[in-house]
Amino acid sequence: MDIRNHYILMADYNQRMNDQVYTASSKLDSDQLGADSGAFFSSILGTLNHILVGDLLWLSRFSLHSARYHSLKGLSALPRPKHLNEILYPELVLLVKARNFVDGTINQWLNEEIREDDFARGLVYANSQGVVSERNFGELLSHFFNHQTHHRGQVSTLLYQHDIDIGCTDFLIDIPDVIKD
């Protein structure tokens, strides 16, 4: 398995799933999106904001891993989250714009700037409580994508409670079929 191509594939999956989740979410009104549903981040809107907050925090850390990561610097135009439960965008239409910008940036970064040897190096970072760690960058990137998948699954359940199915969530359909005709 080519690790760089794996992460590019994960970014494509991430973008497809975010498109599906946001399209499904747009079928609800603002009261439904913001209603406390007993989820860890309260509501659909709260959970979608949390996913974006997590992405912005990690991408900010990742931007320090290499001077080549120019595309990640563009994310500084977005709000800088201070808390994991922060509502950066209280309206879905604004959240969609930010999400699309971030997803495009992730894809650009992985397709144009990241190199195979980046994955093996450690990344020193401070978590949201200020605790400093150094961990393998490739594994942190896996955590980044896994975090998104985990919380999108929660949103999928919340949407299903409104009789909204987000469609196929299988990563399998993004994996190219290697059988040649």
Bind-site residues for a divalent metal cation: 50, 147, 151
What residues are designated binding site? 50, 147, 151
Distance of alpha carbon 118 from alpha carbon 133, whole angstroms: 17
Range 155-159 contact pairs with CB under 8 angstroms and sequence separation of 24 or more: 155/21, 155/25, 155/44, 155/47, 155/48, 155/51, 156/21, 158/37, 158/39, 158/43, 158/44, 158/47, 159/21, 159/24, 159/25, 159/28, 159/44
